[in-house]
Amino acid sequence: MTAETQKWAGRTREYDLVKEFVIALLVVSVLTVALAALFSSPDEKQITISTWSRHAPNDFVLTAATELDGTSGTATYGAPYTHTADAAQKIGPVSLQHIAGVTHPVDTVTDFVITPLTGVPADSALTTALGQWQGAGTSQRQRWASSYDDALAKVTDNDPAKVPPGDYGPVPVMLNRLLTMAQSGGLDGALLAQKQFFATDYTKPLLFIADGSYLEDRARAQHLGGDQWGMMNETGNYPGQAWLWLYTFWYQVKPFSTSPNADALVWGLMALLSLALVLVPFIPGVRSIPRWVPVHRLIWRDYYRGMRPPDGYLSASDVARPVQVSRRPIGGQVHDDDAGADAGRDREHDDGEAAGASGYGGRSV
Amino acid sequence: MTAPAVSRTWTGAIRARAVRELPPEQMLPDRQPVYVASWIYVFGVLTLAAFLVVLVSGGVLALKGPQWWHRSSTGHFVNSLHLWSVELFMAFMVIHLWGKFFMAAWRGRRAMTWVTGAVCFLGSIGTAFTGYLVQSNLDSQWISTQAKDGLNAAGIGAFFNVLDFGQMLMWHIVLLPLVVGFVVCIHIVQVRRRGVVPPMEIDPRDAIPEEVTS
């Protein structure tokens, strides 16, 4: 057993843990109140599908067109939303994303467009359009939706009013009504409450919004973009999650910044690094860094400064060796509890330190 | 005088074990080794104090519900308290962690103290992250839609859906605080059980007496 592993048998000082905690609590409380009063906290208003469709109607319609022809980010995402083949990211040959499976299935055509539109009352043109859509085969629907999506992508500002005539079937009418529904706020509720009255799962509306470019434009304006060290930032000039810096860092450098498997690689790497942090005491080399970097000499500088030069100092792992260690010649009387106090007083005289400041007292074994 | 009878009950056994393993004078000592004299030691207790402020301010927000702080100036101030206490908590904890690293504070059968501390740090990152997700504003919308890609790619998103506000709220105000709070308790008990790690070199005056080691 070494001195490091057993209960400290050397000199001690009075130390009031409870008083220290109470003072710390007061200081932190006052500091928190001061920071909150001085700087407040950010609260950049959320985006709804209604605000998105009113502020960027063309972006909304273009996004809805990609949902309908199955080319949107969500429609082609893979697990856990869709069964899209080869969409899942991999670490080497392993795809944890694929293994975890589709647990939150999303059919962008049905969930984002058709089901909400079927709830619109008293619109004969829409009823006819939906009837035409439902009556057509899968390939016909795909041709209509793709043609309209392609045409929309080519016109200036993706403006539906500038789309040239073509074989789009019922798609223009459907998307026009979806825009109207979105602008009225109806689509927000329809996407949230497709299964039940009480709802807290925003998966579908958030996926829909994220498929457009309006959310990203707003986020980039708040320096939240991926290449702007995104997630660790906060809106405005507030500190965000600075502790995520290492996670965000990997996305800025190759090979992660250019890899199609960037997310899987970064999360895999961060999982390894997190495990390494927890297991530092067991990793040869890493656990020796503190011995090579003399920060500990700064931390314990008062203690080291007070060491007795003639005796030098001993490694903490050596001092339990009875042959090398004897307090008798140094501390004088070692059989009583005042031996440590004597040694402390000797040192205080040697160093000229005030007894109160050094806090040395009898040893408590 | 006869020795008191040893209880054969489970309760008695647990009490005896607790008193043996966690004696009160070791749990709440009023003396510390002389080397416990550096500002770096303050950051452990500052972290604990900030954690308490985080819990109290978060508790008030939980009492009033997740939308309160958007429509009430008092609520907004409490949210600010929560935000800044979290920032202080994380800052103190990072300094505490680096301090303990450079002290090689895992020496002397103190590995579990380090391990529980590191788990607290990682758990706190997760708790703070879910807090950002449930702000219900632009920031939480953006963070959730970005973070889903990483979590989904790791297979975690299949069960931990950052786009599900209700699920994230439960994780943030119930599950993760319970886990972090529990691990913090274990960490503190470990610190008290094993004591504060000694310097890497020991003054011979603090060496173990011959009669103890021989």
Domain ranges (residues) in chain B: 38-197
H-only helix segments in chain A: 17-39, 49-55, 57-69, 96-100, 115-118, 124-135, 138-154, 171-183, 186-192, 203-211, 214-221, 245-250, 262-278, 289-292, 295-299, 301-305, 328-331, 339-351, 355-358
Q: What is the pLDDT of residue B35?
A: 92
* pLDDT tens digit sequence for A98-147: 999 999 999 999 999 999 999 888 888 999 999 999 999 999 999 999 99
Q: What pTM did the predictor assign?
A: 0.85
- Chain-wide mean pLDDT for chain A? 83
Does position B69 have pLDDT exceeding 90, yes or no? Answer: yes
Does residue A70 contact residue A211 with C-beta atoms inside 8 Å?
Answer: no
Handedness of CA B168, B173, B174, B176 (dihedral sign): positive
Q: Which of A43-52, B14-23, B153-162 has the lowest mean pLDDT?
A: B14-23
Please judge whether A96 and B111 are an interchain contact, meaning their C-beta atoms are less than 8 angstroms apart.
Answer: no
Question: Is A344 within 8 Å of chain B by CB?
Answer: yes
Please judge whether B101 and A11 are an interchain contact, meaning their C-beta atoms are less than 8 angstroms apart.
Answer: no
Please judge whether A43 and B164 are an interchain contact, meaning their C-beta atoms are less than 8 angstroms apart.
Answer: no
Residues A271-285: what's their mean pLDDT?
97
* pLDDT tens digit sequence for B161-185: 999 999 999 999 999 999 999 999 9
Compare CB distances from B83 to A41, A300, A312 and report the shortest one's residue. Answer: A41
Q: In the structure, what pLDDT confidence band is assigned to residue A3 with cuts at 50, 70 and 90?
A: low
Q: What is the pLDDT of residue A88?
A: 87
CA-nearest of B35, B30, B103 to A344 is B35
Q: Which CATH superfamily is domain B38-197 in?
A: Cytochrome Bc1 Complex; Chain C (1.20.810.10)
Q: Of A15, A22, A305, A308, which to mutate for an interface test with B (greatest number of B Cβ within 10 Å)?
A: A15
Does position A352 have pLDDT exceeding 50, yes or no? Answer: no
Please judge whether A319 and B46 are an interchain contact, meaning their C-beta atoms are less than 8 angstroms apart.
Answer: no
- CA distance readout (Å), B125 to A164, A165, B94: 52, 54, 11
Does residue B108 contact residue B194 with C-beta atoms inside 8 Å?
Answer: yes
Could you say which residues from 81 to 140 on chain B have a Cβ atom under 8 Å away from some Cβ of chain A?
A: 81, 83-85, 87-88, 90, 94, 99, 101-104, 106-111, 114-115, 118-119, 121-122, 125, 128-129, 132, 135-140
Regarding an ipTM greater than 0.85, the answer is yes
Residues A193-198: what's their mean pLDDT?
75
HSE (side-chain half, CA atoms, 13 Å) at A54 = 12
Q: What is the pLDDT of residue B53?
A: 98
Name the residue with tokens 């707003």. A218
Please judge whether B146 and A230 are an interchain contact, meaning their C-beta atoms are less than 8 angstroms apart.
Answer: yes
Residue A21 tokens read as 């905690």
Query: Nearest-CA residue of chain B relative to A35?
Result: B84
| Residue A255 preceded by cis peptide, ω within 30 | yes
CA-nearest of B170, B187, B6, B38 to B106 is B187
Please judge whether B104 and A303 are an interchain contact, meaning their C-beta atoms are less than 8 angstroms apart.
Answer: no
Residue by residue, DSSP assigns B115-150 as HHHHHHHHHHHHHHHHHHHTS-SHHHHHHHHHHHHH
Does residue A191 contact residue A49 with C-beta atoms inside 8 Å?
Answer: yes
Number of A to B CB contacts under 8 A, please give it.
Answer: 371
CA distance B149 to A95: 13
Please judge whether B161 and A5 are an interchain contact, meaning their C-beta atoms are less than 8 angstroms apart.
Answer: no
- Other beta carbons within 10 Å of A49: 28
CA-nearest of B133, B168, B68, B136 to A48 is B136
Shortest distance, CA B176 to any CA of chain A (angstroms): 17
Q: What is the pLDDT of residue A2?
A: 60
Please judge whether A264 and B154 are an interchain contact, meaning their C-beta atoms are less than 8 angstroms apart.
Answer: yes
* pLDDT tens digit sequence for A57-101: 999 999 999 999 999 999 999 999 999 988 888 898 999 999 999
Residues B150-154: what's their mean pLDDT?
94
Does position B210 have pLDDT exceeding 60, yes or no? Answer: no
Task: State which amino acid sits at residue A345.
Answer: R
Q: In the structure, what pLDDT confidence band is assigned to residue B39 with cuts at 50, 70 and 90?
A: very high
Q: What is the pLDDT of residue B1?
A: 53
Q: What is the pLDDT of residue A5?
A: 61
Q: Three-class SS of residue B56?
A: helix
CA-nearest of B108, B156, B95 to B130 is B156
CA distance A235 to A224: 7
Contacting residues of A for B70, CB less than 8 Å apart: 43
Does position B44 have pLDDT exceeding 80, yes or no? Answer: yes
Q: What is the pLDDT of residue A241?
A: 86
Compare CB distances from B119 to A266, A278, A291 and report the shortest one's residue. Answer: A278
